[in-house]
Structure 1
Amino acid sequence: MQYRKDRKGNDISLLGYGCMRFTKKGGGVDLDKAERELGAAIDGGVNYLDTAYIYPGNEAALGQLLKRLNCRDRVYIATKLPHYMIKSVQGAEKLFQEELRRLQTDHIDYYLMHMLTDTATWEKLLNMGMEGWIKEKLQRGQIRNIGFSYHGGSDMFCKLIEAYDWDFCQIQYNYMDERSQAGVKGLRFAHERGLPVIIMEPLRGGRLVDLLPRSAKDVFAADPEKRTPAGLAFKWLYDQPEVTCVLSGMNSIEMVRENLRLAELCAPGCMTPSDRELLERVKKAIQQSVRVGCTGCGYCTPCPKGVDIPGTFRCYNAMYSEGRSSGRRDYLQCTVMRKDPASASQCVSCGKCAAHCPQHIDIPKELRAASRELETLYYKAAKLAVGVFKLW
């Protein structure tokens, strides 16, 4: 296993374990199966384990597994505070203590503000007194490193990086998100400021493997070097020195072994010209199935009405390249779970965005089409519920 350093000199395994995808059984986690897989990963050198308060039963399962494996001192636990569920420091304390009980530990090694999407939300938390709460937890050693996970555009991500003295951050990043979400711009910005960057969704929840369009699968099937979708995606990430740790939701022994092998072999500079050529053909095949030719450049932003234009098109395209439920879930997360909604339906067709689009996309027209397909009755109900909660 290769390791990369955090700000305090600790070694973080290049491959991390995304615990959210433990195999389920009878309404809960299959602990026996998860024990074998997690144990194999830890024995192979994995030491960064990621979970969250809102993953049903996940923190408690991880706590039980670490007790079974008797390995708490060999690993780092990363979990997350659902700040959108609290109204006070007392609320944060209550959830934090519950997390400690679930995880059967007295400290969290890497603690994240979950889905922190903009500086306004962070300012709201600061006004609530969260900075003092975090400082106390750090001083007492109950939290060892403080960070945030992020879904949103690169410009806001960079502003969040500078809004506080963070110890680390976590972003969605893969070869299809190179120019969207925090993207390569955000990755490098954080790295230049000395922050470890944890990567989530390296395979977009498996969608860059199992749910690739047929044309992309055909590219891999014809590859004389027999490279695999997962292998190429991980190699692309490991090639970048700015990447500290890549989370993988491993739920089979075979997957654990293959991921361990890749994390041992791949390092900065590992991508060959042949790898890059294959990746470009795969990306081209994926992009042919998209609805809007948006590159995520961001020239159309900021929208006067707050619409997340690149994010909307990314999710709209994902509906057709990865599956409707996948695109709609991402859209809900990126446009509603933030201080100010960023829905496509907020567009008033002012045309400012289209005037700046290098791809000459009729953005208002495409936003209307995206809104019709992305903003389902479920989406509207969820948006209303979140709005009511914010007022409460």
Structure 2
Amino acid sequence: MQYRTVPKTGDQLSILGFGAMRLPTKGRAIDEERATALIHAAFDGGVNYIDTAVPYHMGASEAFVGRVIDRKYRGKVKVATKLPPWTTHSRTDMDATLKAQCSRLQTHSIDYYLLHSLNRENWEKFLALGVMDFLDEAEASGRIQNAGFSFHGDLETFREIVDARDWKFCQIQYNILDEEHQAGTKGLRYAAKNDLAVMIMEPLRGGMLANAVPPKAEAWYRTATVKRSPAAHALRWVMNHPEVTVVLSGMNHEGHLRENLKIARDTLPGTLSPDEETMVAGARDAWRQAMRVPCTGCGYCMPCPYGVNIPECFNLWNNHSLREQRRGTKTEYAARLGGALGDAPGNAGLCQNCGRCLTHCPQEIPITDALREIQQEYEGPLWGARRAVISHAAGIGTRILAHRAHRKQGR
């Protein structure tokens, strides 16, 4: 494993960190057996930094991470979690939240503690509530070891926050699509210039850079001298930056972990050749041209009070565009989001324009406008008929399978 140094403390952190926002699941719950094995394998492979937060996995992530770091890893792995602005309304709330987090994480002190999802609004809210005094007292008492912040705002606000305190670290969204978005490359360099460790979130844009590859981007990747997966190209690009301390990856499959461990071992700062830089730039342009909405699938917009599955609506919309898929898109949409297979519907047409989601989106996506576009594109006059046909076909298929199983048992 490759380790990089936190400038102000000397901590040696693995370049690959484990993000606990997209763990393996069974239904809606964390698949604890599989997730535990995956995280322990990461730790055994040299990963020594794990990142969680209050809202991850609908509130279950912190407690799970607390259980996963058993005696074997306690003290060897650094744990990061965050103070949520959405549920913080007073100075008292800050202390109560930190106390509850320490309990869930089964620790008396949190290694890396972040103000969560800062933008102009959340930053000013925290300041008005006395967050600086809270952080000073929490560090002085040892309840947290290192104070930092995660960021989803504009560059000017980012610089202001960096200058406001003697932070040990920050966390920014950074990948081949976000060089000029949010903090971006200028923010990365500004933080490093001020001796902040920089943790990277969304290096694969919520998996999009690994799984939904436009044909034109695939063509660019085929020009590589060394054949690698799209995920490997994207991670190598981030790790190539010397200002980066930790790259968080939400690994939920054993194969992803094996690949990422190898990338982390091999990708030192300055590793990418000029030809690789050109290749990545070409792939980047292909993604930007094809992507409909910059959603990372973080789920902060959920749950929708009217039942819209916002991340899945955007996921399908992007995937159909990125893959240049023309046939079967409305049928797939109806099957996955229309409730045609017996599950609860989550289609865009359920949106009542309440705007609740708009205040929670780190990407500042005009969600309600985008949902209207999706509704117009997928839910035309045949919407009800299409759902009925899919439901009928699924029912026939279920009966056929049941009949075959019954005949097999009769033998």
> What's the counterpart of residue 386 of structure 1?
none
Q: Identity percentage over the alignment?
A: 39
Letter aligned with residue 181 of structure 1: Q
Whether 2:280 is the aligned partner of 1:283: answer no
Equivalent residue number for residue 305 of structure 1: none
Change (3 A) 1:197 1:374: farther
Structure 1's 138 and 86: CA in aligned 2 closer, same or farther, altered over 3 A?
same
> TM-score, normalized by length of structure 2?
0.71
Aligned partner of residue 137 in structure 1, secondary structure:
helix
Say what the alpha-carbon RMSD is for the aligned residues.
Answer: 3.1
The answer as to whether partners of 2:223 and 2:279 remain within 8 angstroms in 1 is no
CA displacement at 1:166 relative to structure 2 = 1.4
Q: Which residue of 2 aligns with 1:373?
A: 370
Deviation at 1:318, TM superposition (A): 6.5
Question: Residue deviations 1:72-125, cap 9 Å, x none?
Answer: 11100000111221111111122211111111111110001111112x543432
Instruction: Tell me the equivalent position of 1:350.
Output: none
For residues 169 and 322 of structure 1, the distance between their equivalents in structure 2, rounded to whole angstroms, comes to: 34
Counterpart residue number, 1:3: 3
Residue 55 of structure 2 is matched in structure 1 by 54
1:39 maps to 2:40: yes
Q: How many residues align?
A: 322
Structure 1 residue runs without a partner (length 5+):
293-314, 345-369, 379-392
What residue identity is the alignment partner of 2:14?
S
Residue number in structure 2 paired with 1:103: 105
Matching residue of 1:65? 68
Assess if the C-alpha contact under 8 Å between 1:108 and 1:143 holds in 2. Answer: yes
| Residue 375 to residue 115, structure 1, CA distance change in 2 (3 Å) | farther
Deviations for 1:296-328, whole angstroms, at most 9, x for unmatched residues?
A: xxxxxxxxxxxxxxxxxxx9x979559999xx9
What is the distance in 2 between the residues matched to 1:27 and 1:124? 32
* Structure 1 segment 136-285 matched on structure 2, within 5 A: 136-221=137-222, 223=224, 225-285=226-286
Distance 2:122 2:176 in 1: 29
Q: Distance in 2 between matches of 1:342 and 1:239?
A: 28
Residue of structure 2 equivalent to 1:302: none
Residue 241 to residue 224, structure 1, CA distance change in 2 (3 Å): closer
1:337 CA drift (Å): 3.8
In the alignment, which residue of structure 1 is the partner of 2:78?
76
Distance 1:342 1:275 in 2: 31
User: Matches of 2:229 and 2:113 in 1, distance apart?
Assistant: 33
Question: Does the CA contact (< 8 Å) of 2:112 and 2:147 recur in 1?
Answer: yes
The structural deviation recorded for 1:126 is 2.8
Q: Which sits farther off after the overlay, 236-245 or 17-26?
A: 17-26
Letter paired with 2:265: E
Cα contact 2:215–2:323 (8 A) shared by 1: no
Shift of 1:241: 0.4
Q: What is the TM-score normalised by the length of structure 1? A: 0.74
SS in structure 1 at match of 2:279: helix
Q: Which runs of 4+ in 1 moved over 4 A?
A: 221-224, 317-325, 332-335, 341-344, 374-378
| Structure 2 runs not aligned, ≥5 long | 294-314, 325-332, 338-347, 349-354, 376-411
Change (3 A) 1:373 1:28: closer
Q: Which has the larger radius of gyration?
A: 2
Q: Which moved more, 1:57-66 or 1:83-92?
A: 83-92
Q: Does 1:85 align with 2:91?
A: no
Matches within 5 A, 1:124-139: 124-139=125-140
Residue identity in the other structure for 1:240: H
Amino acid corresponding to residue 3 of structure 1 in structure 2: Y
Distance (whole Å) between structure 2 residues aligned to residue 158 and residue 180 of structure 1: 14
Shift of 1:334: 10
Aligned to 1:336: 359
Report the Cα distance in structure 1 between the residues aligned to 2:95 and 2:186, rounded to whole angstroms: 34
> Given that residues 151 and 334 in structure 1 are in contact (C-alpha distance below 8 angstroms), is that contact kept between their aligned partners in structure 2?
no
